[in-house]
């Protein structure tokens, strides 16, 4: 029945990523939920750049039209203001499902909405994938490992998550999203992919989104002290956004469901990160210690052996190379903002 209703979607879906060398690949119709956000807008640039048609679905909670304005007027690009918690009917070949606030400050702002977005939003996108026979990719997170007791984290580790904590709307929300994704795959034969993304930074991040890299960079540029939470000895591994986008596209196109860790294994304490920011922007930038947030994971570093082996993927941009690329974008935006009086 599905084939008769949507033969085109089925045909395209079945050849996606399997076109022999030398044969021109069919252009695809792709929906990117959360495409007006930081990661989503970079992904859209790549998909449009290779000739596909892209529909962005976004409610602009943390996303901005400015991130996509360069595609306005392109007949292969469409932007729909829509909340994924509500059902939507579209005809597409692939679904990149990113819609969800990613910064702790944003996802804790309305925790019930965060859970709804992760659970009901993901259910709707899986329902859409089922109806049109599209391939579905979920952007899950390293936060499914919680405050990990295993280091570095391998995909087979089940994590250490507080189910009733202030971060659980996000951690448990994403864990349920992974469960739904696997159950639609196992039970209904939907083609799915799961990426577990580790801390990612780059141009177009919200300047005041509260994440550590955006905070430190904005603070150093504004000549404010860098706010280190706790003792600053907790670690994170920072991935540049172009590496992530490459990993997501490879995952979608290849034949493995995952989950796959997508992150840069270079591990830094927050104090080390502050030093790199000082070296990149302002050697005299001061450091100010603040109390840490609740349930903050102590360590985080991806084991990416699986992605290396099965996707042939590994990051190529180190923190010291990627940070200056983000700094020029932030400098421009902060400077423009000051000129227009913060409008
Ligand atoms: P972001 O906040 O910049 O982008 C999220 C986008 O989703 C925004 O455009 C926002 O407006 C949209 N959105 C939120 N709720 C929505 C809803 N209910 N309906 C429609 N749109 C909605 O965040 P990001 O860093 O680009 O993250 C993108 C995805 O990657 C998220 O799913 C996030 O959980 C995941 N991820 C990101 C990181 C990271 O370090 N950036 C790490 C792990 C996982
Ligand atoms: N859905 C959607 N777009 C579609 C198909 C389904 O938003 O093109 C939603 C649908 O409204 C439902 C969810 O996806 O809330 C799950 O759909 P499914 O068909 O799997 O389950 P059912 O509708 O039978 O509960
Ligand atoms: N952090 C910090 N200063 C800030 C913001 C965050 O020291 O201004 C710390 C935070 O406590 C955490 C780490 O940086 O240990 C990463 O926080 P972020 O919110 O960027 O991402 P998370 O990995 O916690 O989701």
Please state, as a whole number, how many other Cβ atoms lie within 10 Å of the Cβ of residue 319: 20
pLDDT at 343 over 80: no
User: 127: Cβ below 6 Å to ligand 2?
Assistant: yes
Bridge partner list, 236: 268
User: 128: Cβ below 6 Å to ligand 2?
Assistant: yes
Tens-place pLDDT, residues 200-222 = 999 999 998 899 999 999 999 99
pLDDT at 6 over 90: no
pLDDT of residue 274: 97
Q: Provide the CB-side half-sphere exposure for 15 (13 A, CA).
A: 14
Tens-place pLDDT, residues 294-334 = 888 899 999 999 999 999 999 999 999 999 999 999 999 99
pLDDT at 30 over 80: yes
What is the gyration radius of the CA atoms in the chain, in angstroms?
A: 20
Whether the link from the prior residue into 52 is cis, omega within 30° of 0, is no
Tens-place pLDDT, residues 265-295 = 999 999 999 999 999 999 999 999 999 988 8
Ligand nearest to the CA of 116: 1
CA–chain centroid gap for 115, Å, is: 17
What is the interface pTM, i.e. ipTM, of the complex?
0.97
Give the chain's count of helices (H) and strands (E).
12, 13
User: 89: Cβ below 6 Å to ligand 2?
Assistant: yes
Which atom of ligand 3 is nearest to 219's Cα?
Answer: 8
Query: What residues line ligand 3, using a CB cutoff of 6 Å?
Result: 104, 199, 211-212, 215, 227-229, 234, 236, 270, 292-293, 296
Q: CA distances (Å), 216 to each of 58, 122, 290, 331, in order?
A: 27, 32, 13, 13
User: 124: Cβ below 6 Å to ligand 2?
Assistant: yes
Q: Closest Cα to atom 23, ligand 1: which residue?
A: 102
Q: At what angle do helices 241-253 and 38-49 cross, to 10 degrees?
A: 60
Percent of residues, the chain, with pLDDT higher than 70: 92
* Tokens coding 242: 């172009």
Q: Closest Cα to atom 5, ligand 3: which residue?
A: 212
Q: Closest Cα to atom 11, ligand 3: which residue?
A: 229
Q: Would strands 267-269 and 235-237 be described as parallel, antiparallel, or unpaired?
A: antiparallel
């Amino acid at each position: 029945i599905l084939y008769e209703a949507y033969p085109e979607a089925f045909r395209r879906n079945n050849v996606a990523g399997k076109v022999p060398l030398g044969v021109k690949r069919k252009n695809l119709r792709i929906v990117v939920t959360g495409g007006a956000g930081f990661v989503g807008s970079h992904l859209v640039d790549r998909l449009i750049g290779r000739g596909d048609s892209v529909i962005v679905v976004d409610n602009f909670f943390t996303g901005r039209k400015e991130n996509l304005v360069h595609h306005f007027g392109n007949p292969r690009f469409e932007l729909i203001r829509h909340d994924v918690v509500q059902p939507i009917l579209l005809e597409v070949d692939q679904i990149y499902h990113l819609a969800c606030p990613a910064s702790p400050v944003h996802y804790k702002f309305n925790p019930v909405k965060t859970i709804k977005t992760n659970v009901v939003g993901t259910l709707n996108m899986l329902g859409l994938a089922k109806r049109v026979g599209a391939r579905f990719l979920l952007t899950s997170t390293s936060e499914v490992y919680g405050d990990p007791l295993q280091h570095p984290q391998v995909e087979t580790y089940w994590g250490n998550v507080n189910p009733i904590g202030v971060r659980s709307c996000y951690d448990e929300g994403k864990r349920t999203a992974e469960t739904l994704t696997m159950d639609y795959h196992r039970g209904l034969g939907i083609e799915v992919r799961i990426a577990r993304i580790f801390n990612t930074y780059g141009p177009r991040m919200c300047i005041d989104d509260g994440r550590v890299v955006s905070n430190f960079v904005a603070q150093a540029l504004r000549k404010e002290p860098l706010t280190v939470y706790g003792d600053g000895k907790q670690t994170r591994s920072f991935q540049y956004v172009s590496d992530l986008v490459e990993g997501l596209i490879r995952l979608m196109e290849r034949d493995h469901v995952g989950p796959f860790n997508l992150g840069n294994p270079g591990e830094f304490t927050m104090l080390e990160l502050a030093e790199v920011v000082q070296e990149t922007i302002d050697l005299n930038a001061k450091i100010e210690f603040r109390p840490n947030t609740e349930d903050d994971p102590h360590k985080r570093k991806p084991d990416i052996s699986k992605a290396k082996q099965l996707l042939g993927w590994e990051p190529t941009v180190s923190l010291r190379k990627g940070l200056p690329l983000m700094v020029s974008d932030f400098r421009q935006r902060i400077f423009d903002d000051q000129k227009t009086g913060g409008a």
